[in-house]
Structure 1
Amino acid sequence: MLNYIVFFGLIAVILIVYTMYGKYDNGEALERLKGNSYIETRLYQSLEQQGYPVRSQTYCGPYRIDLTLYDWLAIECDGKAYHSTPEQKAHDSKKNHYLRSQGWTVLRFTGSKIHNDLPGVLHKIEKTIHERS
């Protein structure tokens, strides 16, 4: 019986600490969890580790941008399952046009590019930022 009390007591403490952390870290932990896919999360974490002020799932009009930096750089992470049909490509093109009309610079990276050449992806992002500065 004592084992059960200790076990559930520890679970309760862990839940309380987790809840408090989620409330008092200015939403950073929750922000990281909002990514829709593995490739978004991987790129988000890499950008965050580089010290960039990255945000996830930012709305612009009728669209949601995967990742954003500095309120002007939109980064789209295109997984093969959701960006390979002609209809999806047309939607992405329409989204790019809209975002650019709203002042965003748009970069698109395939999931395989993020997975297989993350340093190259980060270099392209850094180059875009330095060109704008």
Structure 2
Amino acid sequence: MYGHCGHLAILIRQIAANSFLEVLRLIEYIVFFGLLAAGLLAYIFRSKHDPAPANPRNKCESYIERRLYDALTSRGYEVNTQVPCGKYHIDLALYGPRIAIECDGKTYHSSLEAKARDRRKNRYLKAQGWKVMRFSGRQINGELAKAIERIEQDVR
């Protein structure tokens, strides 16, 4: 009879050990699928807006914008590029003094229609509290120092 109880005790220990391992496996599954669900929910509800690029210079749309951006940043200004304002985008913006800088390339800004569009944009930006400054490609390429001087006068 004692031998029979010994076998029963061994059997009970094996069942307990197996049950413990099953509980551990169940916990592992719960943690794994919980993390998977959290990752999926984070992906679904993430911000739909792209984060700003590491370097705002990358958003410049033309050579003259990059040239003026480089000149201003090298003088210590924090320049934002392609800043949304209503249905428009400001080429280069200095937030502190609220200066909107528009870089007008000859091709895009020389037609009567383009000039009318620029005037509408100027009116809108001014109504939103921006001081608008426009520079032609010729001014940026040939007279960059004068363009920077004009901007710096308005910053003061």
- Listed as ranges, the gaps of 5+ residues in structure 2 are 1-51
Letter in 2 for 1:44: Y
In structure 2, the partner of 1:113 is 139
* Map of 2:7 onto structure 1: none
Please give the secondary structure, in 1, of the residue aligned with 2:84: strand
1:65 and 2:90 are equivalent in the alignment: yes
3-state SS of 2:61 partner: coil
Identity %: 49
User: Where in structure 2 are the equivalents of 1:9-88 lying within 5 Å?
Assistant: 27-29=53-55, 31-70=56-95, 72-88=98-114
SS of 1:53's equivalent? coil
Normalising by the residue count of structure 1, what TM-score does the alignment of the two structures yield? 0.76
Q: Secondary structure at the match of 2:64?
A: helix
Question: How far has the Cα of 1:54 moved from its partner?
Answer: 0.4
Query: TM-score, normalising length from structure 2?
Result: 0.65
Whole-Å separation in 1 of the counterparts to 2:118 and 2:70: 24
Q: Secondary structure at the match of 1:57?
A: strand
* Whole-angstrom CA distance in 2 between matches of 1:55 and 1:65: 9
Report the CA distance between 1:87 and its aligned residue. 0.3
The residue number in structure 1 matching 2:11 is: none
How many residue pairs get matched?
Answer: 104
Task: Tell me which amino acid in the other structure corresponds to 1:110.
Answer: S
- Runs of 4 or more above 4 Å deviation: none
What residue in structure 1 maps to residue 130 of structure 2?
Answer: 104
* CA positional deviation for 1:28: 3.8
- Deviation per CA, 1:43-70: give whole Å up to 9, x if none: 0011000000101000000000000002
Distance 1:28 1:124, change over 3 A: farther
Structure whose alpha-carbon radius of gyration is higher: 2
1:27 offset after TM fit, Å? 3.9
